[in-house]
Amino acid sequence: MKRKKVIRIKDPYLRKIRYNLRMLIIKAVEVKNSQLRKEFSRLYKMGNKEEAHKVNKEIQKNTSDLGRSICVCEVCGTAKEDLLYIPKYKSWFCVACAKLDRISVPQ
């Protein structure tokens, strides 16, 4: 996207669906990262530090990608609120964080 975009949902039923879908995605990333942490631990104990480093990079990438996704606010981590996309940061932020100037919103 090339400009700011707010995704607002007013219907409580649709808000609940959105929240549940976000939580499914978050949970899937958590499960994947948990598996990768076990793999990292196993590789590190075996002395295969290069492979362990690759696995650790993947964990960091998954976590970073989740933080920049529409699932959570990058500042406060909320998944329940309406989110605002700011192209300058290539990330999504909740409207509350934007209003409280926790981020610098470009004009």
Strands 5-7, 83-86: pairing kind: antiparallel
Which residue would you say has higher pLDDT here, 56 or 95? Answer: 56
DSSP letter at 86 equals E
Question: What whole-number percentage of the chain has pLDDT above 70?
Answer: 93
**Model-level pTM greater than 0.85?**
no
CA-CA distance, 94 to 53, in Å (whole number)? 33
- Match 């309406």 to its residue by tokens: 82
Residue 107 has pLDDT above 50, yes or no: no
pLDDT of residue 2: 72
Q: Which of 2-16, 43-57, 78-92: highest mean pLDDT?
A: 43-57
Q: CA 26 to CA 106: how far, in whole Å?
A: 28
Average pLDDT of the segment spanning 2-7: 79
Of 13-17, 22-26, 35-39, 73-77, the range with the lowest mean pLDDT is 73-77
Domain positions in the chain are: 5-99
Strands 83-86 and 91-94: antiparallel
Residue 56 amino acid letter: N
CA 77 to chain centre: 8
Average pLDDT over residues 33-62: 95
Looking at residue 47, its pLDDT comes to: 92
